[in-house]
Amino acid sequence: MMDSVKYRLTVGYDGAGYQGWQMQVVGTGVQEILEKALAKLFSCGPRVHSSSRTDTGVHAVGMVVHFEVPKTEARMTPTKLVLAVNAHLPEDVRVLAASHPPQNFHARFDASGKEYRYLLWNHAAHHPLLRKQSWHVKKPLDLAAMRAAAKHFVGTHDFRSFRANPDYDTAHTVRTLTAVTIRGTGPLHTVVIRGTAFLYKMCRGIVGTLVQVGEGRIQPADIREILEGRDRRLAGMTAPAHGLVLWKVFYGKKAKGTQSADPNETGE
């Protein structure tokens, strides 16, 4: 049975040019690009299994994937594979690390948590350098109110009010967030969201709601009611995709409140 070998890759990409991670009816997914590059190196044409499926325009620096090849095709060391696969990838997609995980490793099923980061630029004019990687919010934000609101998201809650598509995955909408923090001084802020698993567009629903708290349209104490209402119409807007980065995927003991990632998880 030991006739195949697994590789684990950490992948980063600029989401601007892609219709998300997974192949779409229209447009190109990052997964497709990566599989095409791997097909140049492995004649078996391996299919990659990802920890997450990021949405159109969302970036990543820490996407984790695995794939299997027959042992006869596994001559390349992980270090050489990084160089070889990058030679076949467009410059907005990079394999940043590779390793041989245990043969029973699965990028999605074994993930114990994820960290997303969202970049907010709170200024009258957009950021000339980070304009494609930050959400430009013009109205001055009340950071203290946003930080007070952020605390209400931490813990195990039914996040039904914070996912985009009410038709998707109706059964399991309880998720655990271990941290929602807002870092930075001056006009540039980073919202760090860490949790065991995420619903579709959940991070962007949380960030959009936090910004509306910062603008005074939603009160921090309202977050609890919005969560309890279990209705997407109660929460704030969905923040635009281009500010969001899949920062890191955790495996094993690294994530607090560890539990297996939901196999139906889409993430963002």
User: Is residue 123 within the footprint of its own copies (CB under 8 A)?
Assistant: yes
Confirm if 175 and 159 have CB atoms less than 8 A apart. yes
3 noted as active-site residue: no
Q: What is the rounded distance in angstroms from the CA atom of residue 207 to the CA atom of residue 213?
A: 10
Show the CA angle centred on residue 237, arms to residues 129 and 188, nearest 5°.
30
User: Is residue 131 within the footprint of its own copies (CB under 8 A)?
Assistant: yes
Query: Contact region for its own copies (CB under 8 A) — 6-14, 21-29, 171-179, 256-264?
Result: 6-14
- To its own copies, the closest distance from the beta carbon of 86 in angstroms equals 5
Cα dihedral value 18, 20, 24, 27, nearest 10: -10
| Among residues 33, 93, 182, 199, the one that binds its own copies under rule CB under 8 A | 93
Q: What is the rounded distance in angstroms from the CA atom of residue 106 to the CA atom of residue 6?
A: 9
CB atoms within 10 A of CB 185: 7
CA neighbor of 64 nearest in space, from 4, 148, 8: 8
| Among residues 7, 14, 248, 268, the one that binds its own copies under rule CB under 8 A | 14
Per-residue tokens: 148? 């007070």
- To its own copies, the closest distance from the beta carbon of 35 in angstroms equals 17
User: Is residue 248 within the footprint of its own copies (CB under 8 A)?
Assistant: no
- To its own copies, the closest distance from the beta carbon of 104 in angstroms equals 27
- To its own copies, the closest distance from the beta carbon of 91 in angstroms equals 6
Confirm if 15 and 62 have CB atoms less than 8 A apart. no
φ and ψ at 238, to 5 degrees? -90, 120
Spot the catalytic one: 3, 14, 55, 110.
55
| Among residues 129, 167, 171, 233, the one that binds its own copies under rule CB under 8 A | 129
User: Is residue 102 within the footprint of its own copies (CB under 8 A)?
Assistant: no
Q: Which residues between 44 and 83 bind its own copies (CB under 8 A)?
A: 59, 61, 79, 82-83
Measured from the CB atom, is 3 or 91 closer to its own copies? 91
Q: What is the rounded distance in angstroms from the CA atom of residue 243 to the CA atom of residue 54?
A: 13
- To its own copies, the closest distance from the beta carbon of 245 in angstroms equals 7
User: Is residue 127 within the footprint of its own copies (CB under 8 A)?
Assistant: yes
Q: What is the rounded distance in angstroms from the CA atom of residue 215 to the CA atom of residue 207?
A: 12
| Among residues 32, 35, 73, 92, the one that binds its own copies under rule CB under 8 A | 92
Confirm if 205 and 236 have CB atoms less than 8 A apart. yes
The footprint of its own copies (CB under 8 A) covers 12-14, 59, 61, 79, 82-83, 86, 91-96, 123-129, 131, 133, 245
Please identify every residue annotated as catalytic: 55
